[in-house]
Structure 1
């Protein structure tokens, strides 16, 4: 793994602000915070934003078991009521003074070199790079999946085509770019990260860090079901209204690919929620939006039989992928 060429210290390296929004996940939060305090990078200020937990997190976490003394500063911010993750993130951003800002969800955690690698990417990438993002490993009921990023530069068309750039826990943003692009939109209940990336990409270049430095947990089935319903009824129409004009600027293909990619996301969430009728509907609506959108192709025929065909095909596909990775 590549590291900074010299040991970072608080006098010479840029200050990095880390924002951790949290609500009702005491069992995971300490792991997240410990992964921040154990970073090899030395110049970090931490903002933990308690979004109205029933018991203040300062009363539930074991502060003595987390080496906060490793950081430049630690600030706890508390909301009197639950106001949403983006409200919490934005209060952290407003308090931040770092040249770069990183985000960590309370049920995720980082590799110890996450921040060092991010700063190194900024320093070697030049002033046009406003966002760096790293690989991630996701653990859930269906097993473990990995994403290694590769797309760089001007990524607007890649976003319109639905390419993945990771969640908040995978990105680090230059503070000056946030001043131009604006804060995360507090109206969105889901797809919050992707919505923000659409705006950030219009002001800067992205740079990938092709290593797994973020580790994620996915929710349980009941939460996924609620997520699908919210995405379908609230987030999807809001997303289309806000960003379809941008997609239209890039021509017919990208406008239709934008719609197809959103419907593919809906369909995949429906599958995880065991809503196979809804999944089939949105797979095929995605195809109707753009028959040239290739990421849909592997899902169309398997979706016709619902769980009786989609699940077995998915299992076989995963096994083939595992064998290929072992042989490769």
Structure 2
């Protein structure tokens, strides 16, 4: 598909960024390299220690319409996304985190899925390749989004696509609203619950997004903010919706977030917290098999969890995914 196709809407790409000048060029250049040309890019600098616009000016972005906006103070990733949404006009809005990048055909595939699904499809999600700090692929996920996905998201049987992996029809914002600026983490999961109530979903069954897994301080690693801010707010907003699908859905909804907290606590060395949340997850929904494995690691403490992580890293270097 190209700009001469019958369905050739403008696509607005929003990249929020803060303090990642080493990664941002890859993200921006991957937008410039898209096979679909009717694209505008807005990079929103969330008051990085050093302004990022000079970094962008040094890149080869010929043919790409782009702007860089800078917040006067640090306001968070969702505020930056909203700034980008409001500063653009495209019928389709796609998001890209500053430490991820896209394969050249992604926007083209997004539009093919929107076109095939018709006006009812308001969100399209793509697959992702997961790479380590050296760029070696260590995993991949191909999405299974189709139609009405609200109940599956609430139950936790469908993983919410991260921001770099989905595009939205602009008109959906009128009903679903913007990403919640109060959330320090789990921002994508909460927004998908709202988006899914006002739009049907479709998928690009290819891993055309590349996500780096590194140690450079992703907000998703902050257990205390998840425990004290994000999860309580999401539960407050959506527990009643989960209950509307039945008491079993409400329990699975709560169990899913307990499991999220248990795994986050485990990763961050809060072993007692991990045990507590995982036990509560299992009590609410004994069918969640992964919680039992995490619980065993949490009970074993740092030696057991550290050994398991080292074994996983060793195996990932020897098994092709």
TM-score, scaled to structure 2 = 0.90
Q: Does 1:261 align with 2:253?
A: no
Q: Does 1:96 align with 2:88?
A: yes
- Mean CA deviation greater in 80-89 or 221-230: 221-230
Residue 318 and residue 156 in structure 1: after superposition, are their counterparts in 2 closer, same or farther (change >3 A)? Answer: farther
Q: Distance in 2 between matches of 1:302 and 1:229?
A: 20
RMSD: 2.6
Residue 193 and residue 224 in structure 1: after superposition, are their counterparts in 2 closer, same or farther (change >3 A)? Answer: closer
Residue 35 and residue 181 in structure 1: after superposition, are their counterparts in 2 closer, same or farther (change >3 A)? Answer: same
Residue 325 and residue 62 in structure 1: after superposition, are their counterparts in 2 closer, same or farther (change >3 A)? Answer: closer
Q: Distance in 2 between matches of 1:225 and 1:37?
A: 28
What's the counterpart of residue 38 of structure 2?
Answer: 43
Which sections of structure 1, spanning at least 5 residues, go unmatched? none
Residues paired across the two proteins, number: 318
Which sections of structure 2, spanning at least 5 residues, go unmatched? none
Residue 316 (structure 1) shift: 6.1
What's the counterpart of residue 287 of structure 1?
Answer: 282
Which of 158, 169, 176 is 2:152 aligned to?
A: 158
Residue 75 (structure 1) shift: 1.8
Residue 306 and residue 177 in structure 1: after superposition, are their counterparts in 2 closer, same or farther (change >3 A)? Answer: same
Residue 171 (structure 1) shift: 0.5
Deviations 1:9-61 (A, max 9, x none): 499611100001111111111111000000001100111111112222112x0
Deviations 1:170-207 (A, max 9, x none): 01001111111111111111111111101000011111
Residue 235 (structure 1) shift: 0.8
- Mean CA deviation greater in 158-167 or 134-143: 134-143
Q: Distance in 2 between matches of 1:322 and 1:27?
A: 25
Q: Distance in 1 between matches of 2:149 and 2:175?
A: 17
Q: Contact 2:11–2:39 at 8 Å: present in 1 too?
A: yes
Q: Contact 2:266–2:298 at 8 Å: present in 1 too?
A: no
Q: Distance in 2 between matches of 1:265 and 1:76?
A: 35
